[in-house]
Amino acid sequence: MYKFNVHSPVSLEEALELKATFGANIHPLAGGTDVLVSIRNNRVDWGEQPSLLDLNKIQALHFVRETPDTIEIGPLMTHSEISNHPLIQSHIPALAKAVSYIGSPQIRNTGTIAGNMCHASPAADSLPILYCRNAIIEIQTQDQTTTVPIEEFITGPGFIGLDSSGIVTKISVPKLPNFVGDYLTLRQRQALSCNVVSVGVEMLQPNKGNEIEEIRIALGAVSPTVVRGKKTENLLKNKILTQKLIDEAHDLIQTECVPIDDVRSNKNYRQAMTGVLLSRFLINNV
C-alpha cells in the first residue's frame, strides 16, 4: 500500500500559490496514469508520503481554442477529448491520430496531453507531431508567464525545463494550412503497448503535386528525446518526389537518430524502421 497527500485547488491562482509554497516538494497530478504508477512502483524518489497537486478542479486549464494562427490546448485535455475534438481533427489531424494510440480507452479517457508531454518519454505518442508543429509551451508562476519551444522544454528522458514553482498552462500549436500530416508507429501489439519506433511528418506540396515545398520530420523512441530529421528535411525540401529521392531519404533518416537496445526492440531494427516508415509516408503521397 502506498500513501500520499493530495492538495486540490479550485483555481489557477490557488495552485500557483501552493506550487510557490512547496516548490519541488509537490508534484502536479492530472490523469495520474503516469504519476500514480511511478509512485506505486517506486520509480520516483518523492519520499514515503509525497504531496500531490491535483489540478483536475481547475476549469481554466481545460480547453481547446482557435486563434488566427494557432490551436491552443489546455493541459488538462484528455487524449480522448483531443482525438475527438473538431478543431484538432480539422487543423492537426495527425495529432488526433497519434493520441488515439495511447494505452486503452480507460487510459485515454483519463490521461492528459500535458501529462504525456511532461513525462518526457521519447516514445510518447503525442510528441512527434508537436515537434513537427514547433509547439510552444506556456508556463506560469506567481510572478510571471513564460513560453518555451517544445524542443527546449523537454531536455532528456524524463526531464523537462520546468521551474519548481511553475505549472504548464497552455500548449500552442501553430496551424499549417494546406500541409498533409501523418503519424506512423510500430509497436509489439496494437493496444496497451509502447512505441518501438514512430515517425511524425508534416508536408506541404503546392497544388497537390509531386514537388515538396516544405517538410518536417520528427522521430520517436530512437533517441534520448524526440528528434527532428533536419538533414532529411533539407534533402527533400523544394524537390520533386521520385523513387530515387525516397530511397535517398530512406537511407539518410537512419543516420539522424541514436537508438538503444531494450526489452521492446534493438537499435538496428529501430534505426532501419525510421527509413521504412518515412518511405511509407512519402510513397503514399507521390
HEC secondary structure over 217-248: EEEECCCCCCEECHHHHHHHCCEECCHHHHHH
- For residue 218 the three cell numbers come to 520528427
Comparing C-alpha atoms, which of 220, 217, 194 is closest to residue 204?
A: 217
C-alpha pair distances (Å), 38 with each of 31, 108, 110: 13, 18, 16
Q: Are 132 and 161 in contact (CB under 8 A)?
A: no
Higher-confidence residue of 86 and 37: namely 86
* Cα separation, 227 vs 258, whole angstroms: 10
What domains, with CATH codes, occur in the chain?
A: 5-54 (3.30.43), 59-174 (3.30.465.10), 179-283 (3.30.390.50)
Q: Which residues of 242-252 are buried (b: 16+ CB within 10 A; e: fewer)?
A: eeebbeebbeb
Contacts 24+ apart (CB under 8 A), 225-228: 225/120, 225/122, 225/151, 225/154, 225/155, 225/156, 225/157, 226/122, 226/124, 226/127, 226/128, 226/131, 226/154, 227/131, 227/256, 227/257, 228/131, 228/132, 228/151
208 pLDDT exceeds 80? Answer: no
pLDDT at residue 56 above 60? yes
What does the pLDDT read at residue 45?
Answer: 81
In the predicted model, is pLDDT for residue 86 greater than 90? yes
Give the mean pLDDT of 98-109: 93
Measured distance CA(116)–CA(31) in Å, rounded: 10
- Given a cut of 70, whether residue 1 has pLDDT beyond it is no
Report whether 64 contacts 173 (CB < 8 A).
Answer: no
Say yes or no to pLDDT of 211 above 70.
yes
> How would residue 221 be classed by pLDDT, with cut points 50, 70 and 90?
very high
Q: Which whole number is the average pLDDT over 188-195?
A: 76
For residues 103 and 250, which has the higher predicted lDDT (pLDDT)?
Answer: 250
How many percent of the chain have pLDDT more than 90?
81
Residue 26, pLDDT > 90, answer yes
Please compute the mean of the pLDDT values over residues 203-210 and round it to a whole number. 86
Mean per-residue pLDDT, 270-274: 96
With beta carbons less than 8 A apart as the criterion, state whether 125 and 115 touch. no
pLDDT at 89: 98
Q: Which three cell numbers stand for residue 203?
A: 508536408
What cell does 284 get? 503514399
Across the range 256-274, mean pLDDT stands at 91
- Write down the pLDDT at residue 164: 92
Q: Supply 79's cell numbers.
A: 487524449
